[in-house]
Amino acid sequence: MSEPDPIAAAREDGRTTLTEAEGKQLLASAGIGTTDFRVCADADAAVEAAEDVGYPVVVKVSAPRVTHKSDWAGGVGVAVGLDSPDAVRAAAERVLAAADGRGIAADVLVEEAIDLDRGTEVIVGGVRDPSFGPVALVGVGGVFTELFEDTSHRIAPIDHAEARSAIDELRAAELLYGYRGRDPADVDALASAVVAVGELVAEHPIAELDINPLLATADGITALDALVVLEDT
């Protein structure tokens, strides 16, 4: 079986970690919706990308060596809610200067800003466990992932019914079903994403795949970030 292009590109470069853009390309190939984004080599291109995507936007560092962007370089790695060319240019220049100062080859990722209040932040992921093999997981996402540790796991690949069962056993599952007057999320779309991630991990040499957060809304799901780590060759 031939590997998806993002995996093949990483292998050709001798990398085991995909960039966020490559990770999102992999997700899109599996039918998982992502934010609209552009990868830019300099600040001028970042401004053009922001105009193309539409304000407000988010600017992030894009480099295989930077996996935790929010914590990188004192918080320079992610700038949110940017609503002008000057703000985008300044954020992009900070990212590139920080990368250059650390000897890291980096680009700038510019993506549409998504209103998190429209839905529920979820983590969807998969790992290759040394004992059980491919495992899919779903749980509370965003900044609360480590705080609440509310996740469900299934040996992958799984079907839609198993994915729904994993979602429904979460302690916070009620958040997805219209808690306190909120619009219910499209749980079937979320379950389909869990199935797709399980298939990716089962069918390809992926050691770890994390979508955190994935925003689940009444209109469907959107992957806001993606981390993919390949198995060593």
pLDDT digits (tens, 9 = 90+) for 22-66: 999 999 999 999 999 999 999 999 999 999 999 999 999 999 999
Gap between the Cα atoms of 16 and 130, Å rounded: 18
For residue 70, give every residue at least 6 positions away whose Cβ sits within 8 Å of its Cβ, in sequence order, or none: 77, 78
Segment 61-118, tens digit of pLDDT: 999 999 999 999 999 999 999 999 999 999 999 999 999 999 999 999 999 999 999 9
CB 107 within 8 Å of CB 62: yes
Give the model's pLDDT for residue 181.
79
The domains found in the chain, sorted by start residue, are 37-112 (3.30.1490.20), 116-230 (3.30.470.20)
pLDDT score, position 3: 57
**pLDDT class of 149 with cuts at 50, 70, 90:** confident
Q: Residue 210 — very low, low, confident or very high, per pLDDT cuts 50/70/90?
A: very high
Please give the pLDDT value at position 218. 97
User: Quick one: pLDDT at residue 146?
Assistant: 76
- The whole-number pLDDT of residue 1 equals 45
In Å, how far are 112, 121, 144 from 80, measured between CA atoms? 10, 16, 19
How crowded is the C-beta side of 139, counted as CA atoms within 13 Å?
18
Question: What is the value of pTM for the model shown?
Answer: 0.93
Q: Is 47 helix (H, G, I), strand (E, B) or coil?
A: helix
**Model pLDDT, residue 82:** 98
Using the predicted structure, report yes or no on whether residue 10 has a pLDDT greater than 50: yes
Query: Could you report how far apart the first and last alpha carbons of the chain are, in Å?
Result: 16
Q: What CA–CA distances, in Å, run from 203 to 1, 87, 104, 127, 193?
A: 9, 42, 31, 12, 15
What is the pLDDT at residue 4? 62
Are 143 and 224 within 8 A, CB to CB? no
pLDDT at 190 (0 to 100): 98
Average pLDDT of the segment spanning 154-183? 94
